[in-house]
Amino acid sequence: MALAALKLPAALAAVLQAVERAGGRTLVVGGAVRDALLGRPPEDWDVEVYGLSETRLAECLAPFGVHRVGARLAVFVAAGAEFALPQGSGQGVDPHLPWAEAARRRDFTVNAMAWDARTETLLDAWGGQEDLRAGRLRMVDARSFADDPLRVLRAARFAGQLGFAIHPLTASRCRRLGPQLGQVAGERVRKEWEAILLRGVDLPRSWDALQETGAIVLFPELRALQGVPQRPDAHPEGDVWIHTGRVLAAAGRLRRDQRERDLVLMLAALLHDLGKAVVTRRDAQGRWRALGHEQSLVPAQSFLDRWFPGPTLTRQVLPLLRWHGAPHALARDDAGTAAYGRLALRVPDRSLLLDLALADAQGAGAEGMPPALQKAREIWSALGVLDALPAPWLRGGDLMALGIPPGPVLGKALQLALELQISGAYADGDAILAVLQRRWAGSSRPDGHAC
């Protein structure tokens, strides 16, 4: 496996030249070198600088709009790359550390190679090229590997990102280190999850590697899926764990390179069946059933609260979980257009719901677009709600003029007004207002529950 001259972005090349003019030696390290050897466009640029103090490096980078991101160790960002001094054996940096010793502290051999742009030389002291050829993820040094427990989760991430097998000794070291993963800051864990979900090429491999490396101990909601049975006629692939891995793979094929949207889809794929671990039981005929698993959202909420906190993702992901089976149920029941309209209002993004339902079906062995999903897409397209909901014809003031008081009752009335609008059975807001007026006038309760 040979590496032609690694082509640096022009802005980055200018920074490296400035650092070298100041007496430093610059080495491109990590993922950019690995990806170039694999014939992939580099995504992450990291540079180690030798021979300069932290202060001098900061001075060299200052004209390039640098900012510092490292707290304990100095890490600077300039020209889209991270610049760092080699880490010594203690808690600080050592600008004069031999490169091979600095590389010893990296996680995996495939990430421990370096490219000297000035001499156009590939440096590989730990067998990274050999492991690339073998499709193998192997730790550089067992002792230094334990310096950062996050590497347990990174092993699962790179297994799927690169499609590599984890070396048995590395997997064993990860399992011993796994219990310490709980000491890692949640934000760092979240970033690894984002990389798994957004950059994974072989997602079932990452999924199974969570167990292989012991990283799964940190995620009890996911671990609970192992061994949960499913009806063989509906899920010939196996238990819920196996199914989820296949759904992740199918969802990965539906990513659009739109980070925010893709993250919602992939989280929904990851969490969509957590409720099965709670509700799965045998029915009267002895068949395994998971009735109501879409409504059992506590495990998913727990996972999101811990690793993806904040209302934005929760508001987008949980409705997808709650209603991911609804398009199939509506088709089975031969529901009318109004029912599809009501479902459209229950999820923030109808196309995401269809993508999740498609991934779910393909994870159970379906090929192509299931008729139930095609029907939902066609109805929502005809109603004009597939990509976005229409602006409401009626506002709160319109309904309050009927005597409907502000508060929860008004909210329900507004929801009903939009449902009637989306149904396509009414020409304009006045027609809907007349319907609501009749319902409100016919209510015998002062709280207006007839609406």
Rounded to whole angstroms, what are the CA distances from 187 to 66, 163, 283, 306? 23, 25, 42, 10
Supply the mean pLDDT for the chain.
92
Residue 375 to residue 84: CA distance in whole angstroms: 55
- The domain over range 10-130 is classified in CATH as 3.30.460.10: yes
Q: Is the pLDDT of residue 70 over 70?
A: no
Q: What is the pLDDT of residues 194-253, one digit of tens each?
A: 999 999 999 999 999 999 999 999 999 999 999 999 999 889 999 999 999 999 999 999
Confidence (pLDDT) at 402: 85
Average pLDDT over residues 137-147: 95
What is the b/e burial string over 66-96, where b = at least 16 CB atoms within 10 angstroms of the residue's CB? Answer: beeeeeeebebbbbebbbbbbbbeeeebebe
Q: What is the pLDDT of residues 406-422, one digit of tens each?
A: 899 888 888 888 888 88
Q: What is the CA radius of gyration of the chain?
A: 27
What is the b/e burial string over 258-287, where b = at least 16 CB atoms within 10 angstroms of the residue's CB? Answer: eeebbbbbbbbbbbbbbbbbbebeeeeeee
Identity of the amino acid at 261: R
Confidence (pLDDT) at 206: 97
pLDDT band at 91 (very low <50, low <70, confident <90, very high): low
Q: Considering the chain, what percentage of its residues have pLDDT values greater than 70?
A: 95
pTM for this entry: 0.90
Identity of the amino acid at 426: Y
CA angle centred on 116, ends 112 and 122, rounded to 5°: 55
Q: Is the pLDDT of residue 72 over 60?
A: no
Confidence (pLDDT) at 52: 94
Residue 22 to residue 398: CA distance in whole angstroms: 71
Q: Is the pLDDT of residue 171 over 90?
A: yes
Residue 267 to residue 270: CA distance in whole angstroms: 5
Please, which contacts does 396-401 make with residues 24 or more away whose CB atoms are closer than 8 Å?
A: 398/429, 398/433, 399/433, 399/436
Q: What is the pLDDT of residues 217-228, one digit of tens each?
A: 999 999 999 999
In this structure, what token pair is assigned to residue 186? Answer: 């949640």
What is the b/e burial string over 413-432, where b = at least 16 CB atoms within 10 angstroms of the residue's CB? Answer: bbebbbbbbbbeebeebeeb
What is the DSSP-derived secondary structure letter of residue 156? H
* DSSP string computed for 394-448: --HHHHHTTTPPTTHHHHHHHHHHHHHHHTT--SSHHHHHHHHHHHHHT--STT-
Q: What is the pLDDT of residues 109-121, one digit of tens each?
A: 999 999 998 999 9
What is the DSSP-derived secondary structure letter of residue 185? -
* DSSP string computed for 208-271: HHHHHHSGGGG-HHHHTTTT----TTT-TT-SHHHHHHHHHHHHHTT--S-HHHHHHHHHHHHH
Torsion sign over Cα 130, 134, 140, 143: negative
> Hey, is 172 helix, strand or coil?
helix
pLDDT band at 143 (very low <50, low <70, confident <90, very high): very high
Q: At a CB cut-off of 8 Å and minimum separation 6, what does 170 contact?
A: 108, 137, 138, 139, 145, 155
In this structure, of 1-10, 293-302, 371-380, the range with the lowest mean pLDDT score is 1-10
Q: Which of 300, 292, 386 is nearest to 347 (CA)?
A: 386
Q: Is the pLDDT of residue 3 over 90?
A: no
